Amino acid sequence: MELDRVILKTDISDYGLKAGDKCTIVLIYQGGKGYKVEFVTLSGETVVFSLFAEQVQQLSIGW
């Protein structure tokens, strides 16, 4: 669901993102086959990626 928090399951080393980093779904593609997700880095930079559903995992409530 849009605006849900998810966890990255794979590294995106070009941007210093690691498996386990948290992000927010901002757009859902093809009924959940992929997502546009947003990360905010420690320096405050916003980074947006399109990822396959297999690259993220739903966060439990109370993240």
Tell me, what CATH number does 29's domain have? 2.30.30
Is position 44 within any domain? Answer: yes
Is position 20 within any domain? Answer: yes
**Domain range for residue 12?**
5-58
Tell me the pairing of strands 22-29 and 5-8: antiparallel
According to the model, what pLDDT value does residue 61 have? Answer: 63
Indicate the number of domains in the chain: 1
The one-letter amino acid code at 58 reads: Q
Give tens-digit pLDDT for 40-57.
Answer: 877 888 989 999 999 999
- Kindly report the pTM of this predicted structure: 0.81
Is position 63 within any domain? Answer: no
The continuous run of DSSP H or E covering 21 comes out as: none
